[in-house]
Amino acid sequence: MMRINFTAADLRQITLAPGPTPLWETAVSVHRLRLPATVGPQLRFGLESWEREVRGGLRARAGVVLDLIPREDFLPGFLLQPSAGDLAEGLDLVMHAPSAQVSAGLS
């Protein structure tokens, strides 16, 4: 495990976003839905009905978004788009990301 130690000066320079971006929420949701249905209850608490509703038609509903979001816990930088106000704007920014950035992120 990697450990990062922050000094008081480091912490004073950190700015937190007001909330997760729509693309981040989408990516985390896709990761969650890719976990086997047998994952322990500590990770499933409160999500059972949402998972039942969404899991069955995930491929049909998500389309190419599934191909962009890796199976690992790593999320390529071009998918973060912190300036996006909503999902449509975020996807537009992803579509216009430089091809070299997309290729590097997916490899």
> Vertex 105, ends 99 and 106: CA angle to 5°?
90
Quickly list H helices, 6-106: 8-12, 22-34, 41-44, 48-55, 58-62, 64-68, 87-95, 99-106
pLDDT at 90 over 80: yes
User: Which residues touch 43 (CB under 8 Å, ≥6 apart)?
Assistant: 35
pLDDT band, residue 38 (cuts 50/70/90): low
Q: Provide the pLDDT for residue 13.
A: 93
For residue range 39-51, list pLDDT tens digits in order.
655 556 677 777 7
Q: Provide the pLDDT for residue 45.
A: 65
**How crowded is residue 32: how many other Cβ atoms within 10 Å of its Cβ?**
16
For residues 85 and 6, the model is more confident at 6
Domain ranges of the chain: 20-34+44-106
Rounded CA gap, 107 and 28, in Å? 20
pTM above 0.75, yes or no: no
For residues 12 and 51, the model is more confident at 12
